[in-house]
């Protein structure tokens, strides 16, 4: 052990450099911790948004197919549809955690969903409008996936 200190003489200057390095590391820990927390919040928001958008898909698909649904039990009533769109709007209040491309696409999706919610259940909601909204939802989910939606592939038993 004594030989180690002979090889590495420690003077006040070296001790000061080590102390400064330790202080910098300690000062950066809260910043790193905050970044990790923000990333986790963004991932959670993406997951909640995509889940809600997925719930809306069967109802919009039924409109596209002139009322014929592949999974009739998944089609929402008018009130349920409006409630789901309202919850997407409420989640958008947290959108500052997301990247700008995600925010932009979700804003367009929300505007279209709010219009569709007013017309859902009425003949005024044209199949082309519902189809366009489905495309916007797909694009939003794709953008959120690019920015870290999931860490792995999800099995979708409802599509099999």
pLDDT, position 5: 53
Residue 133 is assigned to a structural domain of this protein? yes
Residue 33 is assigned to a structural domain of this protein? no
User: Cα dist. 81→55, 128, 133 in Å?
Assistant: 9, 18, 14
The number of distinct structural domains making up the chain is 1
Average pLDDT, 10 consecutive residues per value, the chain (160 residues): 58 83 87 84 91 92 83 86 94 91 94 92 86 93 84 65
Residue 102 is assigned to a structural domain of this protein? yes
pLDDT, position 19: 87
Tokens, residue 119? 């017309």
Kindly report the pTM of this predicted structure: 0.73
Domain range for residue 54?
43-150
Q: Produce one character per residue of 59-96: b if its CB has 16 or more CB atoms within 10 Å, e if not.
A: bbbbbbeeeeeeeeebbbeeeebbebbeebeebbeebe
């Amino acid at each position: 052990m004594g030989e180690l200190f002979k090889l590495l003489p420690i003077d006040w200057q070296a001790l000061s450099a080590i102390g400064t390095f330790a202080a910098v590391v300690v000062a950066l820990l809260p910043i790193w911790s905050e970044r990790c927390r923000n990333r986790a919040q963004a991932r959670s928001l993406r997951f909640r948004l995509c889940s809600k958008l997925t719930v809306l898909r069967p109802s919009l698909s039924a409109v596209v197919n002139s009322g014929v649904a592949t999974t009739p039990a998944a089609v929402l009533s008018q009130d349920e549809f409006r409630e789901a769109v309202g919850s997407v709007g409420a989640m958008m209040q947290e959108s500052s955690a997301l990247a700008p491309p995600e925010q932009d696409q979700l804003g367009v999706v929300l505007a279209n969903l709010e219009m569709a919610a007013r017309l859902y259940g009425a003949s005024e909601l044209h199949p082309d409008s519902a189809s366009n909204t489905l495309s916007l939802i797909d694009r939003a989910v794709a953008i959120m996936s690019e920015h870290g939606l999931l860490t792995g592939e999800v099995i979708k038993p409802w599509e099999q």
